[in-house]
Structure 1
Amino acid sequence: MQDKPNQLKVGLVQQAVSSNNKAENWQKSADFVRQLAAQGCECVLLQELHSTLYFCQNEDTNAFDLAETIPGPATEYFGQLAAELNIVLITSLFEKRASGLYHNTAVVFDRSADIAGQYRKMHIPDDPGFYEKFYFTPGDMGFNPIETSVGKLGVLVCWDQWYPEAARLMAMAGADILFYPTAIGWDLHDDNAEQQRQHDAWHTIQRAHAVANSVPVIVANRTGYEASPDASESDDKHGIQFWGQSFIAGPQGEVLAHAEVDKEQTLMVALDMSRTESVKRIWPYFRDRRIDAYDELTKRWRS
């Protein structure tokens, strides 16, 4: 493995999806990734389930046809892209592990078509419009950073981003950066005030993971409106308005770059990786953790 750089140009792609045409969606993603690579970006994050529409808005057994094996067509395509551009690339796909066994899986490539590592989403939501428990088995690979030429990458997926335990365990295993491929948006029946509260909570919790663990956080979200498969043509609120607003935060939670709500775009930041060590010396959270008093964290609830 190469020595980790002190300066790392890291980027993300915020993309809208309008169909289940994987070839078109992959090409669009690749075009954005090439733009970032042309600017010197060395590590790029794609959003959650970027190959297709967000199919979890309802429960439909036909949607399992969208899943792929690993390795498979998606990993071959994006592996070749990472090798061509000499970058670290973090992708997301609907994994068919076996008949009747599926995962929401992130796959990482390290300047090569070979898979450097993968992570299976651990926390699986089951809410109106986000019926993921119907499709995904919870991950069984634990919280282990993936070794790459740019450092140890703590890759988590969407609903994982609400759990401080997941971020902490990745950081405790030496993750240099936390990455969150995401697909989150608004229920258009909620009023503006509720929508703003939801977004603010999402933004705050992830910046807090950066603060509590003294590591940068990279978040790539979808943008655009995706109608529910159950919607009628006259119902323009039966779906999800993905709120975009992907962002990159530094190790004190400072926002270094922020995308718009409704625009396909890329973000790139040159991270000073030496700051993590400096911040940890000033804010020694790991030193002062009372691990002797945390046993009950492994319980579901304290009664």
Structure 2
Amino acid sequence: MPPAKLKVGLVQQAVSDNDKATNWNKSAEQVAKLAAEGCECILLQELHSTLYFCQQEDTDAFDLAEPIPGPATEFFGELAEKHNIVLVTSLFEKRGSGLYHNTAVVFDRSREIAGKYRKMHIPDDPGFYEKFYFTPGDTGFTPIQTSIGKLGVLVCWDQWYPEAARLMAMAGADLLFYPTAIGWDVNDTDEERARQHGAWETIQRAHAVANSLPVIVANRTGFEPSPNPADPGIQFWGQSFITGAQGEILAKADADGETTLSVELDMSRTENVKRIWPYFRDRRIDAYDDLTKRWRD
């Protein structure tokens, strides 16, 4: 069971190179700050160890991956133990020769790995060539048990799928976490940028509403040029946020700039909201079989 009151935090970070030690230490400084503020659970953004290498297809980028356990899990496990926190991290996992995943790893107040989640939905769009690098996850939509409750950890492109959030909630998740790396093509108009960001925030707030759960979203910030001079690069739009169980925004970061957010959540509200808005009671599970089909002809 989660505590009645839970202070959660997140780190919104920019990345300028592939020096893992530098990026880890930047994250560690912000984690220490949030822990000093009383945060018991802290989320880091997607692939926070390096630049977002998926802007092009490059076999040399596989050298950035590492095993679990490995150097990254050792570093962040020590951090979780030092600050007595639950820490949600993200890394490029080398599972075996030629087999790689985009993986979130959770530590529960110790160096031991409490659980991991491998990204299930893998995008393939200009500037986001993730299918070249990542095998779809096989861990399923299973919350990770920790001392503060069950964490429903999903990753970036997963955040667009109501099925993923619902399955985490159905398995007893107390909170939903989305480590993310999303941004604009620099050629997008202001109007298009507003539409894209609005859709991104709305869908995740909707997951909070539909499942009566707090949602914590840590997104990357800053501009990262593409290794391909012909491509425009990505302006990551930041705007990390934390919602309550009805999708209400409790804290939100700016688009630009590295920052942290922290909020004390009233975890009893989840149960109270579910009693008032009993979506799980009224679901017509007898009529949903076609959801497992690719399309309805």
TM-score by length of 2: 0.99
5+ residue gaps, structure 1, are none
Equivalent residue, structure 2, for 1:193: 191
Equivalent residue, structure 2, for 1:181: 179
Equivalent residue, structure 2, for 1:61: 59
What is the alpha-carbon distance in structure 2 between the residues aligned to residue 231 and residue 35 of structure 1?
A: 38
Q: CA deviation at 1:217?
A: 0.2
Which amino acid in structure 2 is aligned with residue 297 of structure 1?
L
Equivalent residue, structure 2, for 1:228: 226
Q: CA deviation at 1:190?
A: 1.1
Among 237, 240, 252, the residue aligned to 2:234:
240
Which amino acid in structure 2 is aligned with residue 213 of structure 1?
N
Equivalent residue, structure 2, for 1:48: 46
Equivalent residue, structure 1, for 2:206: 208
Equivalent residue, structure 1, for 2:100: 102
Q: Secondary structure at the match of 2:223?
A: strand
Show the 5 A alignment for 1:152-191: 152-191=150-189
Q: Secondary structure at the match of 2:203?
A: helix
TM-score by length of 1: 0.97
Show the 5 A alignment for 1:1-303: 4-231=2-229, 238-303=232-297
Q: CA deviation at 1:4?
A: 2.7
What is the alpha-carbon distance in structure 2 between the residues aligned to residue 297 and residue 39 of structure 1?
A: 43
What is the alpha-carbon distance in structure 2 between the residues aligned to residue 231 and residue 133 of structure 1?
A: 21
Q: CA deviation at 1:231?
A: 1.9
Q: Map Cα deviations across residues 127-170 of structure 1 (whole Å, 9 max, x no partner).
A: 00000000000000100000000000000000000000000000
What is the alpha-carbon distance in structure 1 between the residues aligned to residue 237 and residue 151 of structure 2?
A: 25
Q: Secondary structure at the match of 1:133?
A: helix
What is the alpha-carbon distance in structure 2 between the residues aligned to residue 129 and residue 195 of structure 1?
A: 16
Q: CA deviation at 1:201?
A: 0.0
Q: Secondary structure at the match of 2:107?
A: strand
What is the alpha-carbon distance in structure 1 between the residues aligned to residue 220 and residue 267 of structure 2?
A: 27
Q: Secondary structure at the match of 2:137?
A: coil
What is the alpha-carbon distance in structure 1 between the residues aligned to residue 291 and residue 116 of structure 2?
A: 27
What is the alpha-carbon distance in structure 2 between the residues aligned to residue 281 and residue 197 of structure 1?
A: 34
What is the alpha-carbon distance in structure 2 between the residues aligned to residue 263 and residue 270 of structure 1?
A: 23
5+ residue gaps, structure 2, are none
Identity of aligned residues (%): 79
Q: Map Cα deviations across residues 43-87 of structure 1 (whole Å, 9 max, x no partner).
A: 000000000000000000000000000000000000000000000
What is the alpha-carbon distance in structure 2 between the residues aligned to residue 51 and residue 150 of structure 1?
A: 26
> RMSD between aligned alpha carbons?
0.7
Q: Secondary structure at the match of 1:80?
A: helix
Moved over 4 A (4+): none
Provide the aligned length of Structure 1 versus Structure 2.
297
